[in-house]
Structure 1
Amino acid sequence: MFLDLDLMSSNSAYHTLTQIIIPRPVAWVLTEHRNGEYNLAPFSYFSAVCSDPPIMMISVGRKPDGCEKDTYRNIKEREKFVIHIANSELAGQVTKSASVLGEGESEIDLCGLNTESVEGFSLPRVIGPKIAMYCRFYEEKKMGNNDQHLVFGLIEKIWLDDDIVLKTPEGRIKIDASRVDPIGRLGGNEYTTFGKILDIPRPK
């Protein structure tokens, strides 16, 4: 089969891409609305883009009615956000947090989740995920025909559950990926969970 994307609708192209670019890590992003409520939403167009300085990117579209998503608006207004890496036990709540709510309503309450504050950052983390990255808005690029927002965040702090942190003989931090147990996004309603780990040394 050969697909010509010039002949496909944007919706068909989206569904094709989400089924062939797999698995995709999920950024579970917490922001704060101006009313003080916490917004929480998943994004699978997400990646690290730079390590000096450490910068992450999330791609934020619009709500079905064309309005800006709360995540984007909150980041632009308040400049802080927290990216979590959710584990397989939280997959149901990750999906539930994608529900379209009214502006300023909290997915934290909808999903029955709790948060915990951290010293030196204005936003808390969600209790449950084993990794949380505390980010400050860095810059934005608009992409595509519908002004998809590529939001870049500078990572200021990283919280790691002690259970996932190991030490190498050289004294470097090593993250035990099997204990992180991250979910990966596939097409449709599907996720993948962590499977076999292949450790293949790179050529010198």
Structure 2
Amino acid sequence: AVSSAPPLMMFSAGKKPTGEIKDTVKNVINSKQCVIHIASEQDADLVTATAATLDHGESEVNANDIELVEFEGCDLPRIKNCHIAYGCELYEVQQMGEAPQSLVFVKVKTLYVNDEVISLDAKQRLKIHADKVAPLARLGGGEYSGITAPFAMARPK
């Protein structure tokens, strides 16, 4: 998250080897919307497979037999087997760096969280259980990490 008011998220994408903007960024610019998923450790092979360079117009979803479902409150579908998905609209795109990266800022409009990974806390607020989500983090190149032992700390008053 970049901001809570408005609720903004950001992702970055480099250029294709040809220097062109990647299709993901083009698609967000053209449609003015996207869905951001939180991948789980169990999906590491699929995440890596979808990073393959495809010809323009070829779909990672089709190439990897990823099942999509309707996403309530969003014009785009979400990945069926993903625990968390954010339905977003384009906020701003910036180019940064000497080898320009596209920084894509999006405003969160709707959220899907699988019931299996949430519960109510003592104050009746939704709590997402990181150990059940098992979020996958890409460190760079082919290196990934997961959360081995989530922990909580009391916040100062």
TM-score with structure 2 setting the length: 0.94
Percent sequence identity over matched residues? 39
Residue aligning to 1:162: 115
Measure, in 1, the Cα distance between the counterparts of 2:45 and 2:115: 24
Higher gyration radius (CA): 1
In the comparison of the two structures, how many residue pairs are matched? 157
Is residue 2:128 matched to residue 1:149?
Answer: no
Task: Say yes or no: does 1:192 pair with 2:149.
Answer: no
Q: Which residue of 2 aligns with 1:116?
A: 69
8 Å CA contact 1:164, 1:176 repeated in 2: yes
How far apart, in 1, do the equivalents of 2:98 and 2:148 lie? 37
Q: C-alpha distance in 2, partners of 1:135/1:188?
A: 26
Shift in Å, 1:185: 1.8
Are 2:38 and 2:84, in contact at CA under 8 Å, matched by a contact in 1?
A: yes
1:147 Cα shift?
2.8
Counterpart for residue 104 of structure 1 = 57
After superposition, the Cα gap between the structure-2 partners of 1:115 and 1:190, relative to the gap in structure 1 and judged at 3 Å, is: same
For 1:93, the aligned partner's letter is: L
Deviation at 1:128, TM superposition (A): 1.4
1:119 Cα offset (Å): 3.1
Tell me, in whole angstroms, the C-alpha distance in 2 between the residues paired with 1:155 and 1:90. Answer: 23
Structure 1 equivalent of residue 47 of structure 2: 94
| Matches of 2:37 and 2:102, distance apart in 1 | 19
Match of 2:27 in 1: 74
Output the CA distance in 1 between the equivalents of 2:134 and 2:150: 12
Deviations 1:46-99 (A, max 9, x none): xx1000110001112111221210011111111110000011111101001010
The answer for the alignment partner of 1:54 in structure 2 is: 7
| Structure 1: stretches of 5+ with no match in the other structure | 1-47
SS in 2 for 1:150: strand
**Inter-partner Cα distance in structure 2 for 1:50 and 1:195:** 27
Contact 1:82 1:123 in 2 (8 A): yes
Root-mean-square deviation (CA, aligned residues, Å) is 1.2
**Paired residues of 1:86 and 1:128 also in contact (CA < 8 A):** no
Which amino acid in structure 1 is aligned with residue 35 of structure 2? V
Which residue of structure 2 lines up, in the alignment, with residue 128 of structure 1? 81
Letter paired with 1:91: A
